[in-house]
Amino acid sequence: MKPVDQLILHDPSNNKIGDCYRACIASILELNIEDVPHFMIQEPRQRIKSLLQFLGEYGYTLYSVEGLVDYTYPDENDYYIVSGISPRDSKIKHAVIGYNGKIVHDPHPDKSGIISYDYSEIFLKVKTFQ
């Protein structure tokens, strides 16, 4: 995991959707943030389709579980995205990176994390059959 900070802060009054989720993906895949699409600006159905297609190109899919994961997954990427309520606004979701039950990177400049652990998204390797 290579920590990457978000480029766009969430500011709905100026029609800006934050890219914390994008920064988390870039961090886990060790990519430049510019190489990861800003999925959150897409409509929900297209967002999921685009996200899974993008991750598939790197050999991953996502598995979502409720709460904060407190263990690692054998033979999988041990880092995962944790989403919850932002401490800056209780109506806004924020994404950070977890590892073995702890938050290890917050892509927001103030590094204040999240105040709830709604769900974790684990990067599972895609199995191919020949």
Helix (H, G, I), strand (E, B) or coil at 71: coil
> Rounded CA gap, 47 and 35, in Å?
16
Which residue range forms the structural domain that includes residue 46?
A: 12-125
For 35-60, write each residue's pLDDT tens digit. 999 999 999 999 999 999 999 999 99
**Is 7 part of any domain?**
no
Handedness of CA 59, 99, 23, 84 (dihedral sign): positive
The count of C-alpha atoms lying within 13 angstroms of the C-alpha of 108, restricted to the half-sphere facing its C-beta, is: 18
**Is 39 part of any domain?**
yes
**Is 130 part of any domain?**
no
For 86-128, write each residue's pLDDT tens digit. 999 888 999 999 988 899 999 999 999 999 999 999 888 886 6
Residue 75 has a pLDDT of 60
**Is 5 part of any domain?**
no
| Residues in the chain, overall count | 130
**Is 1 part of any domain?**
no
Quote the number of domains for the chain: 1
> Rounded CA gap, 94 and 98, in Å?
13
**Is 3 part of any domain?**
no
